[in-house]
Amino acid sequence: MFVDTHAHYDDSAFDEDRHETLMRNKEYVHFIVNAAQDLKTTDACIELANTYNFVYATCGIHPHNANSFSEEVMEQLYKRALDDNVVAIGETGLDFHYDFSPREIQVKSFRANINLAREVKKPVVIHSREATEETLRILKEERVNDIGGVLHCFTGSFETALEANKLDLYYSIGGVVTFKNAKKIVKALDAIPNDRLMLETDAPYMTPVPYRGRRNESMYLSYVARKIAEIKGMDYEELVELTNINAKRFFCV
């Protein structure tokens, strides 16, 4: 059984069979962390966590939705972050690939989410795309070491991992590691400490080979785990147990 440290079962891709899908995947997981993207999805994540005892929630603003950032929204997120089923703040960070929100607003939202994590004493789930230098700089300035953070869906380089290690960050690896063009993350795994490694689906996205192109689900984590175990020269069961222990430690579950 796995810990799926990052999924989006509140996504519309699951609207027709959400309950059936979650109950099917219950057999494969110790727990799932369902990641929020704004105030509305925070409420949806908490509702899922209150409904299913193997689901936990996060609370925060995704960089795509940074335009929704305001002091009033942060006050509402603070109230929700106190819920016992909320185990982290995020996902938050910087996305300079799509730039759906102005970069200066993304930065303000990112810093505010990190400060929220500090206030409620919960770790932060970090989204970073084509913004590595800026993301690590902000995390250093905001002393993420004191809070705890995970680079979600990590696909960075060996060098990026070495820099992130200085901030005591965790790394959550998903289906990308099974793709043919995943040379960068394969090399980066050599720089990632075993006690900082976790698994995720990012469901319904990032489905691993051999199911790439289909809707992703937690049960497919076996393909991610097998690939990582192969790359690191570890026993599969050992790798699964290791990542489960890391996830339980990180989320205090």
Reported as a single tens digit per residue, the pLDDT across 29-85 is 999 999 999 999 999 999 999 999 999 999 999 999 999 999 999 999 999 999 999
Main-chain dihedrals φ then ψ at residue 18, nearest 5 degrees: -60, -50
What local confidence, expressed as pLDDT, does residue 118 receive?
Answer: 98
For 83-111, what is the mean pLDDT? 97
The first and second tokens of residue 67, run together, are: 């335009």
What local confidence, expressed as pLDDT, does residue 168 receive?
Answer: 98
From the options 3.20.20.140, 3.40.50.2000, 3.40.228.10, 3.90.1150.10, give the CATH code of 2-251: 3.20.20.140
Q: Which residues on neighbouring strands pair with residue 59, listed in sequence order?
A: 89
**Rounded to two decimals, what is the model's pTM?**
0.97
For 155-164, what is the mean pLDDT? 97
The H or E element spanning position 107 is helix 103-120
- Three-state secondary structure call for residue 193: coil
Contacts of 235 (CB under 8 A, 6+ apart): 229
CA angle 252–12–39, rounded 5-degree value: 55
What local confidence, expressed as pLDDT, does residue 108 receive?
Answer: 98
Q: How many beta carbons lie within 10 A of that of residue 184, not counting itself?
A: 14
What local confidence, expressed as pLDDT, does residue 210 receive?
Answer: 96
